[in-house]
Structure 1
Amino acid sequence: MIPILLIAAGKSSRMGDRDKLRELVDGVPLLRLLTDRALQSGPTYVTLPSVDHPRRAILPKEATVVVVSGQMSDSIKAGIAALPADAKGVLIIPADMPDITADDIRKILEAAQTSDEPIIRACTQDGLAGHPIYFAARTFARFETISGDRGAAQLTAELKEQTLFVPLQGDRARLDLDTPEDWAKFHAR
Structure 2
Amino acid sequence: MLSCEKIKVIKVHTKDIATILNPSSSKQGLLLAAGWSRRFGADKLLQPLADGTPIGLAAARHLRAALSDTLVVVNADNEWARLLVQDGFSVTICPRARDGMGNSLAWGVEQTARASAWIVALADMPFTQPATIRRVADAIDHETALAAPMFQGKRGHPVGFGRAYAEELKQLTGDEGARAILRRHQQHLYGLACEDPGVLADIDAPADLPPSTC
The one-character-per-residue Cα deviations of 1:35-88 (angstroms, maximum 9, x if unpaired) are 1222222211111111x5211132145322111123100000000001052x11
Please list, as runs of the form range in 1=range in 2, the aligned pairs for 1:1-189 lying within 5 A after superposition.
1-16=26-41, 18-25=42-49, 26-40=51-65, 41-50=67-76, 53-59=78-84, 60-68=86-94, 69=97, 70-85=99-114, 87-113=115-141, 117-124=144-151, 126-183=152-209, 186-187=210-211
Report the CA distance between 1:90 and its aligned residue: 0.4
Say if 1:43 and 1:63, in contact at 8 Å, map to a contact too.
no
Instruction: Name segments (4+ residues, structure 1) moved above 3 Å.
Output: none
The percent identity for this pair of structures is: 24
Report the CA distance between 1:188 and its aligned residue: 5.0
Measure the CA separation in 2 of the matches of 1:171 and 1:156. 21
TM-score (norm 1): 0.88
Measure the CA separation in 2 of the matches of 1:28 and 1:61. 12
Say if 1:122 and 1:130, in contact at 8 Å, map to a contact too.
yes
Where 1:77 maps in the other structure, the secondary structure is helix
Where 1:172 maps in the other structure, the secondary structure is helix
How many residue pairs match? The answer is 182
Is there any run of 5+ residues in structure 2 with no aligned partner, and where?
1-25
Is there any run of 5+ residues in structure 1 with no aligned partner, and where?
none
Question: What is the RMSD of the two structures over their aligned residues, measured on CA atoms?
Answer: 1.9
Where 1:15 maps in the other structure, the secondary structure is coil
